């Protein structure tokens, strides 16, 4: 699972460089995220703009990362493609996560 991280002020932005997070990649996603979030930051924004497919395993992996950060830090999401946004909406996880239209919007938001 290819993940890229970049620190911007007090925010760690992690970009998923894959087009899907599914059962085949969910464990690698979680492991990669665990390594990256070890870097301390006030906020973590996960950029999902390249992800076109997210199944229940992928959703579970994103939720697991949210739990790893809690309660000190929140996992915020950005750049959801229409199909991924639909998964979050149908599972009502859109009410659990702070979701930004794009990373830039998330960075300008006070958290």
Calculate the CA 74 to chain-centre distance. 10
Domain chopping of the chain, boundaries: 3-105
* Residue count of the chain: 111
Kindly report, residue by residue over 26-83, the tens digit of the pLDDT: 999 999 999 999 988 989 999 999 999 999 999 999 999 999 998 889 999 999 999 9
pLDDT of residue 18: 96
Annotate 25-92 with three-state secondary structure: CHHHHHHHHHHHCCCCCCEEEEECCCCCEECHHHHHHHHHHHHHHCCCCCEEEECCCHHHHHHHHHCC
- Given this structure, which CATH class describes domain 3-105? alpha beta
pLDDT of residue 111: 52
At residue 5 the predicted structure's pLDDT band, cuts being 50, 70 and 90, is: very high
């Amino acid at each position: 699972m290819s993940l890229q991280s970049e620190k911007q002020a007090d925010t760690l932005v992690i970009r998923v460089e894959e087009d899907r997070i599914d059962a085949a990649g969910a464990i690698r996603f979680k492991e990669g995220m665990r390594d990256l979030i070890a870097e301390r930051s006030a906020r973590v924004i996960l950029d999902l703009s390249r992800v076109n497919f997210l199944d229940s395993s992928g959703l579970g992996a994103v939720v697991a990362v949210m739990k790893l950060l809690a309660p000190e830090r929140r996992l915020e999401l950005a750049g959801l493609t229409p199909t991924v946004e639909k998964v979050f909406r149908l599972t009502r996880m859109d009410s659990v996560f702070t979701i930004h239209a794009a990373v830039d919007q998330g960075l300008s938001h006070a958290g």
